[in-house]
A and B are shown apart, each in its own frame.
Chain A
Amino acid sequence: MRREEARDLLAEVREGETRARRTLDPFLGGLLLIWGTVYLAGYGLVTLRSPLAGPAWAALSVAGFLLSYGLGFRVAGHLRTPSGRALGALWAGFGLAFLALVLAGDRLADGAFSLAVNLLVGLALWQSGVLLARPPATAAGAALMLANALLFAYLPGIYAPALAGAGLLAAGAGLWMVRRGLR
């Protein structure tokens, strides 16, 4: 066998490995699309001072969770991998933490609910990026955690519109990942 042939065959190996690494990208993209849309609509209504903002947040959160878990079950119907299982457990933990915050409800100080939820989302995104070896997702999680804290502490006036904008970016990135995965 010649070196050229070995090089071509190793290219096939890298191609197979790349496809394997991207297998869960449509799932991660779907999560970004769902939660980006929830943020865009929810914080968008808060920015517009809509009286519907409160009930809309509750409805959007429930819809977001149902769609996320539906997506997870759909993926598990044709693919079961160690990283997929870890991702499912991670987001189930996020759901539990979110429920704990909802139960704490009125006892939280003003704005603390949003601050805590966004820190959890940022952390879940960071860990998803680590699990799937996707540095952009890890970076996005870190950026969300930092921006969330800084805006909350120093620029509360633009907290809601900034997170609506972040939602738009996340939804766009998610749509791109889903479309790339479907090709």
Chain B
Amino acid sequence: MAFDELIHQPTRLRLMAYLAGLGPDARVEFGALKRALDLTEGNLSRHLAKLEEAGYLAIEKGYVKRRPRTWVRLTGRGRDAFAAHVAFLEELLKGGDR
């Protein structure tokens, strides 16, 4: 249970929740992620870059039918950080202000 300044931002929190909800080792293509979360390309890119820098996400380039694709995957470190942050929020909700 630990507060995480990076994940705390609402859009990044929703992004992490979406990726965690897809299950372990799930990978989602950039365009599909943008549609799923109703984000603009620039907005999503900025959040992904910050989370990748922290090691919470892995961004992989690849090809599908010869078209370049960018895949996003939650890392083990990201999953742990997300779980700890959610536990912190739940504890706060039960316990009181901090």
Chain-B contact segment, one of A15-23, A106-114, A121-129: A15-23
**Which of these binds chain B: A2-10, A33-41, A155-163, A171-179?**
A2-10
Contact A17 B97 (CB under 8 A): no
Taking a contact as CB atoms under 8 Å apart, the answer to whether A12 and B27 are in contact is no
B27 CB, min distance to chain A CBs, angstroms? 5
Q: Are A20 and B19 in contact (CB under 8 A)?
A: yes
Known: A3-B97, A13-B14, A19-B36. A79 touches B28 (CB 8 A): yes
Given contacts A2-B97, A3-B96, A82-B25, contact A13 B17 (CB under 8 A): yes
- DSSP class of B's interface residues: helix, strand, loop or mixed? helix
The answer to whether A81 touches B26 (Cβ under 8 A) is yes
Decide: A10 and B93 in contact? CB cutoff 8 A: yes
Q: How far is the CB of A47 from chain B (nearest CB, A)?
A: 41
Interface residues of A, dominant DSSP = helix
Partner of A77, one of B15, B26, B29, B93: B29
Inter-chain contact total with CB atoms closer than 8 Å: 94
Interface check A153, CB cutoff 8 A:
no
| Interchain CB contact under 8 A, A7 and B97 | no
A56-98 CB contacts (< 8 Å) to partner B: 77-84
Closest Cβ of chain B to A50, distance in Å, is 40
**B10 located at the interface, meaning its Cβ lies under 8 Å from any Cβ of chain A in the complex:** yes
Report the Cα distance A80→B33, complex, angstroms: 12
- Tell me the residues in window 1-41 of chain B with beta carbons closer than 8 Å to chain A beta carbons: 3, 8, 10, 13-29, 31-32, 36-37
A79, B29: Cβ atoms closer than 8 Å: yes
Mark each residue of chain B from 58 to 98: 1 if its CB lies under 8 Å from any CB of chain A, else 0: 00000011000101000000000000001001101100111
Instruction: State in angstroms the CA–CA spacing of A83 and B18 once bound together.
Output: 14
Chain A residues engaging chain B, CB cutoff 8 angstroms: 1-3, 6-10, 12-21, 23, 77-84
Excluding A15-B17, A81-B23, 4 further A-B contacts by CB distance (< 8 Å) are A3-B92, A3-B93, A9-B8, A79-B22
